[in-house]
Amino acid sequence: MSQESFGNPDFQPPEVILEAVLYCDDLEAAGAFYEKVIGLTLSSCEPDRHRFYQMKYGMLLLFRASATRSQAIEVNGRLIPKHGTTGSGHLAFAVDIESQNAMRERLACAGIKLESEIKWPSGGESIYCRDPAGNSIEFATPELWY
């Protein structure tokens, strides 16, 4: 099965992730973590459904899964598809080493323990903590991948 099987041979695959998602049952607790500790700026909020954050490229969307799994929101006569997970998700932020050190200090001041820190064989360093919903949040220097 080649890519050419599916329509236009000039097709260009998507290059950019516009929305990355985490699920947090307690959005107020999540907001305290992502805004006060991580330092993100809230772009949009529905207290019982979501908190959204604009990043340099795209958005970080926090949803309360019990809302997005059950409530069908209609926009211009069409429904936003339902979604929602349980369990610990994962997301990594890119940071340089100075910002990683500042984040380490910031997490310590907020009483949030590092769960692990890894020096990758390929280069790059990651530190890991949990958000209030139990998602595994990583702050990694991009040398990990590039």
Report the residue number, 48 or 86, with the smaller CB distance to a copy of itself.
86
Local structure of 143: helix, strand or coil: helix
Report the residue number, 48 or 82, with the smaller CB distance to a copy of itself.
82
Question: CA–CA separation, 139 vs 101, rounded Å?
Answer: 10
Local structure of 90: helix, strand or coil: strand
Min dist. Cβ of residue 120 to a copy of itself (A): 7
Min dist. Cβ of residue 135 to a copy of itself (A): 7
Report the residue number, 47 or 80, with the smaller CB distance to a copy of itself.
80
Report the residue number, 47 or 101, with the smaller CB distance to a copy of itself.
101
Please report, to the nearest 10 degrees, the dihedral formed by the alpha carbons of residues 37, 43, 47, 48 taken in order: -110
Min dist. Cβ of residue 104 to a copy of itself (A): 9
CB-based contact 81:70 (threshold 8 Å): no
Min dist. Cβ of residue 31 to a copy of itself (A): 11
Q: Which of 136, 22, 144 is nearest to 95 (CA)?
A: 144
